[in-house]
Amino acid sequence: MKKEMSKTYDPKEVEDKTYASWQQKGYFKPEVNPDGKPFTIVMPPPNITGQLHMGHAFDGTLQDVLTRYKRMDGYAALWLPGTDHASIATEVKVVDKLREKEGKTKQEIGREAYLERAWDWALTYKTRITDQLKKLGASCDWSRERFTMDEGCSQAVNEAFVNLYDKGLIYKGSRIINWCTTCKTALSEAEVEYAEHQGNLWHIRYPLTDGDGYLVVATTRPETMLGDSGVAVHPEDERYQHLIGKNVMLPLLDKEIIIVADDYVDMSFGTGVVKMTPAHDPNDYEVGLRHNLEQIRVLNDDGTMNELAGKYAGMDRYDCRKAVVKDLEALGLLEKIEDHQHNVGECYRCSTTVETMTSEQWFVKMEPLAGPALDAVRQHKTDFIPDRFSKIYYNWLENIRDWCISRQLWWGHRIPAYYCNDCGEMVVAKTAPDHCPKCGSTHLTQDEDVLDTWFSSGLWPFSTLGWPENSEDLKKFYPTSVLVTGYDIIFFWVARMIFMGLFEMGETPFKDVYIHGLVRDSQGRKMSKSLGNGIDPLELIETYSADALRFTIITGNSAGNDIRWQDEKVESSRNFLNKIWNAARFVLMNLDDDIMDKKETAIAHLENTDKWILSRMNTIVAEVNHNMTKYELGIAASKIYDFAWSEYCDWYIELVKPRLYGEEETTKVAAQYTLRVVLDTILRLLHPFTPFITEEINGYLPGTTGDIMVAQWPHFDDTLVFPEDEKQVEFLMEAIRSIRNIRAEMDVPNSKKTQLFLICDNPEHLTLMADSLHYFQKLASVSTILPITKADIQENYVSAVVEDLEIYINLDELVDKEKEIARLEAEKKKLQQEIDRVTQKLANKGFTDKAPEKVVEVEREKQKKFLETMEKVQERLDYFKK
């Protein structure tokens, strides 16, 4: 005999012990279904720089739902977890800690000692993130957990670097890059955040060298003019065609620079003349390459001006800006200054304004890699869900520039390039060479730079499975099945994984890319530390349970769309779970322990209500399966919710209570069996979404062996299709609803019974109603059901129509007229007082003119509501008085 369920569900008592049990039993490993088809998800690795936020909870829940669903459906399901070393983010944290705790810089303690501290940080936060994911219920295979800087992933990074280099796809050269003057490193586009800033647009006169006037250019960064090597106009601009090829004087440096013609120039913007600073602007850089303009870098790495800036050398960039503007003004070369709102790039870690400048770095040649990656999506080797996000992917790859992969940091994968200290030869190798292949010297030094974090992340779908070794996991689980990620890193990460997977493995790394949105606050704002609107998922788990958090995330989700977080929704999810718990407790209290041994008897005596709920269950199973395969997880969860709450709990359980308490054994067995089967199916369907409570309830079900986590996923059963029974029961339900509505309108208590009079030409419906009297007695407070004719209808009858059935109720049986009139008169008097009060308030101009509009609107809404209620009360009064 199974133990009895407690009156209330306590997630704190259940979640940790249940998770530990799953893990101890090895359920998270794909080997739990050794003969199953592989299904693989690699976790987008969270950075080791703090705790999980709502975005991680959202992303993790979606992946876990898919993994649990596939595992139950017999797949060898592998959700492979891991974390990312996050070069810049981690370095900022460790450097700050070093300064605060020890009062030292990383240079003062040296690279080796610094890396020891970085590894301590990494191991601490890796464990913290893992523990947080477990609290969420993540069914990852922790035995296969990876870290982007573990030994295997580091080996993969060196392998990929050398392979790309040997194919001529990695090179070292001077190109335009993003640079943080505080972190003193190159940045990728993913590490630059753009924000609107109020600035200025300075209009500067560049005198023509022939003395015939000047050209006016506008700039937001006057200090960079010191690095100008030309000005550009559009080749079809009639205003300037005669000047193409001539020179202007670069103010302040008294240097001649050329006027070039280029289609890049927008004739309609400003004066149609653009200053060219190839070393400090990516667009100018491209124009400069086309016209062989000199690249003059006037900024140092720390944001000060260098010797090429003339007398401004040594100045901070912003001090230089002020000095340049002042000098231009003194020379009469500053035509005007305008206010200008524009996007400014900032370092995503320290918020320093990013400089674009030429720098010698390592780059990946992108054009040969981008082509196959574009074809893979166009040919549907990889599909985006929703498909609209493929356009973002196409746009980025079609306009991609060579990728700067070197970072001037110490934490990360060090570039596998070695320099001979004697002859200067450079060697790129997977392992450190012991001598120079050119001169034989053993004095070799490794490149100081590390690789962009996205380089190792781009290898994630196969480096985590053992590549470059041809491991069993790699053979079985690559390519992976689906990548789940946010739309904000489609090009930063998704595109890189695709082109790296095609280059190294010869096939795309995943079949589907499921794109989800962001979790925003209730006002639709992005959650951030600066706004103070972030929500800690662990606090929500503590307050509501992991299941409630998960179910809220899923039911609010549709692929590609943001969701707004509202506490009311998670409270609603908790209420739903309590409803399931209470329903299960009631059902289990009314089940025989051996009910599953009576299956044949039960099936032989199923009634129409049993067949209705079984048929509806079967339909929901089919629909949910369809939704899950289409990644419509939110729709699937909502359908399960509606079926479980409304059809099973509110209708079926209530419909069968008389049979459970009756003396007829066969009909009781049929009801018990049906309750048990449907509850079991609901729990299985719910398990991927709410794993803890479903596992706990499953442990109480009679006839259950094993855990629900590894139970068989429900599928459509063509023996459970009962369309006629569905029609019959839905007809009865509509009749019951109609009677309830009449009683509610008349404010009749459930304790007051009434007769039901029927007119219907359909004998089947009349028979059905007569045979179902016990349902109407229980659910609609009906005493008897009697057929009548049109001639029997009296004035005091109220009616409802359900298909071909007319339902009549004697009003006198429901309501004492005199008492009802007295009650309505009292209600009318009270309403009139409220109407007078609010009308007087709204007639007061002192209130309507001075009070906030929202406050006035609230009073108007009250007035409208009171008037509508008064109209209904008056209608009822007129009816009874008549």
Return d(Cα 319, Cα 322) in angstroms, integer: 5
Q: Helix H segments across 478-629? A: 495-505, 537-544, 546-555, 567-589, 599-604, 608-629
Residue for token pair 């193409």: 244
Quick: pLDDT tens for 395-414.
999 988 899 999 999 999 99
Quick: pLDDT tens for 621-630.
999 999 999 9
pLDDT bracket for residue 223 (50, 70, 90): very high
Supply φ then ψ for residue 472, to 5 degrees. Answer: -65, -40
pLDDT bracket for residue 610 (50, 70, 90): very high
**Beta strand segments in 90-169, E:** 146-147
Quick: pLDDT tens for 314-371.
999 999 999 999 999 999 999 999 988 888 899 877 889 999 999 999 999 999 999 9
Quick: pLDDT tens for 167-203.
999 999 999 999 999 989 998 877 888 888 888 999 9
- As given in the structure block, the two tokens for residue 390 are 């493929």
pLDDT at 747: 78
pLDDT at 530: 65
Distances (CA, A) of 619 to 65, 642, 655: 21, 13, 20
Check pLDDT > 60 for residue 518. Answer: yes
Return d(Cα 223, Cα 227) in angstroms, integer: 8
pLDDT at 626: 97
DSSP one-letter code for 243: G
Check pLDDT > 60 for residue 634. Answer: yes
Q: What is the DSSP string of 69-109?
A: HHHHTT-EEEEE-EEB--HHHHHHHHHHHHHHHH---HHHH
Quick: pLDDT tens for 565-596.
888 899 999 999 999 999 999 999 999 999 99
Model pTM above 0.75: yes
State the Rg of the chain over Cα. Answer: 37
The mean per-residue pLDDT over the stretch 758-783 comes to 92
Mean pLDDT score across all residues of the chain: 92
Check pLDDT > 80 for residue 489. Answer: no
Return d(Cα 215, Cα 249) in angstroms, integer: 10
Based on the number of CB atoms within 10 Å of its own CB, is 528 exposed (0-12), middle (13-18) or buried (19 or more)? exposed
Check pLDDT > 60 for residue 1. Answer: no
Return d(Cα 141, Cα 145) in angstroms, integer: 7
pLDDT bracket for residue 828 (50, 70, 90): confident
pLDDT bracket for residue 870 (50, 70, 90): confident
pLDDT at 50: 66
Quick: pLDDT tens for 672-727.
999 999 999 999 999 999 999 999 999 999 988 899 999 999 999 999 999 999 99
Domains and CATH numbers, the chain: 185-356 (3.90.740.10), 546-721 (1.10.730.10), 726-814 (3.30.2320), 817-881 (1.10.287.380)
pLDDT bracket for residue 435 (50, 70, 90): very high
pLDDT at 351: 85
pLDDT above 70: percentage of residues in the chain: 99
The mean per-residue pLDDT over the stretch 809-824 comes to 76
Q: Which residue has the higher pLDDT, 831 or 648?
A: 648
516 CB-near residues (< 8 Å, 6+ apart):
58, 59, 62, 484, 485, 486, 487, 557, 559, 560, 561
Quick: pLDDT tens for 282-330.
999 999 999 999 999 999 999 999 999 999 999 999 999 999 999 999 9
pLDDT at 2: 57
Is 529 assigned to a binding site? Answer: yes
Residue 5 contacts residue 117 (beta carbons within 8 Å): no
**Beta strand segments in 612-738, E:** none
Query: Cis peptide before 235, with omega less than 30 degrees from 0?
Result: no
Strand 805-810 relative to strand 754-759: parallel, antiparallel, unpaired? Answer: antiparallel
Residue for token pair 């018990």: 672
Distances (CA, A) of 64 to 59, 152, 343, 642, 690: 9, 25, 38, 22, 10
Based on the number of CB atoms within 10 Å of its own CB, is 362 exposed (0-12), middle (13-18) or buried (19 or more)? buried
pLDDT bracket for residue 744 (50, 70, 90): confident
